Chain A
Amino acid sequence: MTSPLPTQLLDSDLAVVTRGLTKRYGELTAVRDLALQVPAGAVYLLVGPNGAGKSTTIKVLLDLVRADAGTAEVLGVNVRDDGPTVRANIGYVPERTDWGYGWMRVGRLLEHHARYFPTWDAEYAGRLARIFELRPERRMGKLSKGQARRVHLLMALAHRPPLLVLDEPTDGLDPLMRDETRGVLAEHLSETPTTVLMSTHHVEEVERLADHIGVMRGGELRAQMTIAELQGGLRRYRVDVPDGWQGVPTLNGAVLRRIAAAREVQWTVWGAEADISMQFSRAGATVRDVAPLSLLDATLALLNPKVEDRA
C-alpha cells in the first residue's frame, strides 16, 4: 500500500534531524533510512511496538551507537563530530536503568552526576527528590525498576537541558508515580524552554503532553506529523451500502482499515472529511456516522492497517 500519510514536517527550526539513518545489527536492520524531524520546542512522541527501532534511534542521537549510514544532528551538531557536547545538552532517561553504578548510593550518584552539569539546579533536584520519594541512602542496585527510573528522571531534568530524550519514561512506574511524573513534566515545560523526544509504547499515558508524533514500525517511520494534523485527518466512517456495492476505488491508498459486516461497512480513512464523505455518497453509499479516533486508535490504525471482509 502506498501511504498518503505525511512523513515530512514543514518546520525549518529543527532540534533533532536525521537523514537516511540506517543501523544494522548483523542480519537485522534495526533502523532503515530514517528521516526523523523534531522541531525546536516540540514535545515529540515516538511510538511503535517493541523492536520498532525507537531505542536504537535514540542511542544514535546520543552517539552511544554508531549508524551504518546517514547522519544525525542534535541542536545543530552532527553527533559523530562531537558526542560529548551533544550528551551535555541532553537530559537522557535510558530505557534500561539497571546498568552500572549498582554499588553506588542514590545520593552519591546524584552528587557525582551534578558535577558534570554546570547548569545543575540543586534546589530543583531537591524538590524532585521529594516528589519522587527518593531515599539517598539506598544503593542503586537495590532499587526497583520504578525507583531507578525516578532517579534517572531527576538526573535528566535537574540540569534543565535544552533537549530531553526520554526512552519509555513511565515504564515501571506505578499509577501514582506515573501521574506525578506527568505533573512534573507539565511543570518543567511551563518553566523551561525545552524540546522533548519521548519514546513510548503507551501512547495514552503521555499523549496530553505531546504535540508531535512519529509512528515507527520495523525500523521505518510510517508517519510523522503534528498530533492536531493526525487527529484532524483521520476519521472512522460507518457506511451503509447497497447490495452488490462496488466500493470506492478513488479511496485506494487512503483507507487504513475496513471492516465489513453485511450491508454495514466501517472505514478508517485518511483525508479531508467533506471530501471523503462526498466520495462515499457519489459511489452510492450512505454515511451513517463520522467519528474522530483517539490517539491510541489512530496509532494502531497507522501501525497495523487491516482491510478485511466479515461477510
Chain B
Amino acid sequence: MLITIDPTDVRPIYVQIMDEVRRALVLGTLAPEEPLPSVRQLAVELRVNPNTVAQAYRELEREGVVHVRRGQGTYATKTRRNGTERRTLARAVATRALREAHRNGLSADELIEAIRAAAHHHHDEVSS
C-alpha cells in the first residue's frame, strides 16, 4: 500500500490519509489482517506531525476499518464491509464533483446526465 497526500488538496491531512487507506482496501493493495505502516514510519515518509497519522488511524479504528493489536501495530480489519468502503469512497468523489458543478452553475441532474453520457462514451472508446 502506498499512501500519498496532496499538498494542494484542501481536505485536512488526516482525512486524506483515511481516504488513502480506504482506497487501498477497495483496490486490494491493502488486504485484511495486513499491517499498516507504523505511525512513525508514515509520519517520516509524509513529513507530517505523528499526531496527524495517529488521529487518522484512531478515526479509522472508530469506523471499524482497522484495529490495533497492542504492542504490534495497526492492522486492516477483515470485514464484510468492502461494499461500505466502496460507497464511502464513491460518495466522497461525488461530493467533490457536485461542488465543482455547483460552482459552475450546474444542477445535480445536469451533472448526473453528463456523467452517464461521459461514461457511455468512455465505455464505447474502451470497447472499440
Contacts and interface: CB of A to CB of B under 8 A. Distances in A.
B102 to A, nearest CB: 6
A294 B43 contact: no
Interface string A155-196: 000000000000000000000000100110011011100000
Interface in B98-127: 99, 102-103, 105
A238 interface: yes
Contacts of B40: 187, 190-191
Interface residues of A, number: 23
Interface in A260-297: 288-289, 291-294
Contact of B99 (A187, A209, A289): A289
Contacts of A191: 40
Main secondary structure of the interface of B (DSSP, over half): helix
Interface residues of B, number: 20
A211 B53 CA distance: 12
A190 B39 contact: yes
Contacts of A187: 40, 43-44
Contact of A43 (B13, B39, B44, B49): B49
A291 B10 contact: yes
A208 interface: yes
Given A190-B43, A211-B52, 11 more contacts: A182-B47, A186-B49, A189-B49, A208-B7, A208-B46, A208-B52, A209-B48, A228-B12, A288-B103, A289-B102, A293-B10
